Structure formats: structure tokens, C-alpha cells
Amino acid sequence: MICAAMARRLPIVALALCAALLMTACGAQGVKLADDDPNRAGAVLFAERCSGCHSLEVAGAQGSASDVGDRERTDGPSFDTRKEEVADVLYAIRNGGFSGAIMPENIATGREAQAIAEFLAEYSGRKAAEG
């Protein structure tokens, strides 16, 4: 039998679980890579953890400022125009970016950090090459 205190908390727990599931699902919706692309996992992780501050069209991420006048302190670079290498991305992930001032350290670790780094190395800077 469920006690009264647990019964009152059950709807809150259910709501929290639903919200977590929706947030996880949202991260992958904008990803424009095929399910069998070896970089898809990194793209999904990037969308989930990095899109609030960085932009990259292939990941559906639009977190960078598009107008200098609207730029905020937390706006990270757009990876549509900025090319990155695996080692540099791993450094930034581990150390909170290059300045260490804004980006949280270890936003991903281990295999997840590697997946994000490989994804960015493959897909970053593609609009810079077009221009």
C-alpha cells in the first residue's frame, strides 16, 4: 500500500521523468545525419549538451549569436563557420573551452567526449569553405 506522502510525490516524479524523456528526444530531432552515420551519436550528444551556446546546422543547433548586436556573454562560436580538430575539441571539453570562463568543464567525458570531438572534426567549418 502506498503511504500518503508517496502518493503526493508520485505525480511530481512522473512529471519529472516525462520532462527528462522529452528533453532527451528533443536533442535528436534537429540532427540531419542518417541513423547509420558513424558520427550520429556525436551529433545527438552535441545537440543535447552544446546547442544552447553553439550553432551547427547539421546538428540542429542554433545557440550562437547571429547578430553581433544580440550577442550575449554565453554565446559560443558557430561551428558552421569555425573548423575544429579532434584534439582541440577534446581540450575545450575537458577545460571549459579555451578561456575557461564560460563553458562548463567536462560537459562530456570518455567515449561521449570522443564522439562529440569526432563529429565536430568531421562536420565543423563547412560553411566557411562555401564562402
Q: Per the structure, how many domains does the chain have?
A: 2
Q: Which single residue is written with the C-alpha cell 570522443?
A: 114
61 and 100 fall within a common domain: yes
18 and 49 fall within a common domain: no
Environment class of residue 46 by beta-carbon count within 10 Å: exposed (0-12), middle (13-18) or buried (19+)?
Answer: buried
Residue 7 clears pLDDT 80, i.e. is over it: no
Parent domain of 12: 1-29
96 and 45 fall within a common domain: yes
Say if residues 31 and 58 touch (Cβ distance below 8 Å). yes
Element (H, E) at 2: none
87 and 115 fall within a common domain: yes
Which residues of 73-123 form beta strands (DSSP E)? none
Per-residue model confidence as pLDDT tens digits over 49-107? 999 889 999 999 998 877 667 777 777 889 999 999 999 999 999 999 988 778 899 99
pLDDT at 112: 98
- On average, the pLDDT of the chain sits at 81
Return the C-alpha cell found at 112.
561521449
Q: Which single residue is written with the C-alpha cell 575539441?
A: 89
What is the pairing mode between strands 55-56 and 61-62? Answer: antiparallel
Say if residues 89 and 116 touch (Cβ distance below 8 Å). yes
